[in-house]
Amino acid sequence: MKLTKLQKKIYNLLIKIPEGKITNYKLLAKAIGKPKNWREIGKILNQNPFSEKYHCYKVVKSDGKIGGYKFGIKKKITLLKKDGIIIINNRVKNFSKILFRF
């Protein structure tokens, strides 16, 4: 299993997200020091080698929309709800409040 630098950083950050909080691609990109690399992040999360260990479902779009998920956004929503996050019309309620800034 070969991980790119970005992968390592991203996964490392993902596990830092506290329960009940979410983040978005842009913040994640900023956190790894490359604000314009959100594209890569989406790709990497899609590869998703550790989908069960890492909280990849806690990553949403910058406007609070769910974005995507390898197993379908339905699954993603279910997982988010388990964390106490409310989803309405494919959008996160209280988005700015539960948004976790690194």
Partner DNA sequence: GTCGTGACTAGCC
Partner DNA sequence: CGGCTAGCCACGA
SS3 22: strand
Distances (CA, A) of 30 to 39, 46, 98: 12, 19, 18
CB of 73 to DNA, least distance (A): 9
Which residues lie across from 92 on neighbouring strands? 87
Which residues of this chain interact with DNA, rule CB under 7 A? 2, 4-6, 24-26, 34, 36-40, 42-43, 45-46, 48, 51, 56-57, 59, 61-63, 67-70, 76
CB of 86 to DNA, least distance (A): 16
| Cα 64 to Cα 85: distance, rounded to the nearest angstrom | 12
CB of 94 to DNA, least distance (A): 14
Which one, 43 or 82, has the nearer CB to DNA?
43
